[in-house]
Structure 1
């Protein structure tokens, strides 16, 4: 599983990093973000591209796993 650490980055950087990671294949990608709106944006992006997501709250933000 690839991991994208986008904690502390401003939009649209988390989405750009997520898009780049998803281009590399169909393997799951774990995206780490700091803010709730970033989590929602990554989830929406994944769903718009036909991928499923699951979210876990972590100490300093959220981990979004894109299947």
Structure 2
């Protein structure tokens, strides 16, 4: 089961901070991040990659995006 970070309505750097906290402290290997701006999508993707994670999917979700991140093993 994937953990979910709902960062819709938050401005940067909050989506990045919440995502990094889940990467570091969460028990799940997969994280779904919900964001509502292009900037947040790009910043969260970049932050996840910098932590050794892989962004396996980015899909439009309503007025925002759903990013699926796989944590490094």
Structure 1 stretches lacking a partner, 5+ long: none
Structure 2 stretches lacking a partner, 5+ long: none
Runs of 4+ more than 4 Å apart: none
2:8 is the alignment partner of 1:7: yes
Aligned twin of 2:46: 44
- TM-score (normalizing by structure 2): 0.85
CA distance in 1, matches of 2:35, 2:5: 9
Give the secondary-structure state (helix, strand or coil) at the position aligned to 1:9.
coil
Superposed displacement of residue 45, structure 1 = 0.5
- 1:1-67 to structure 2, matched below 5 A, reads 1-23=2-24, 24-25=26-27, 27-53=29-55, 54-67=57-70
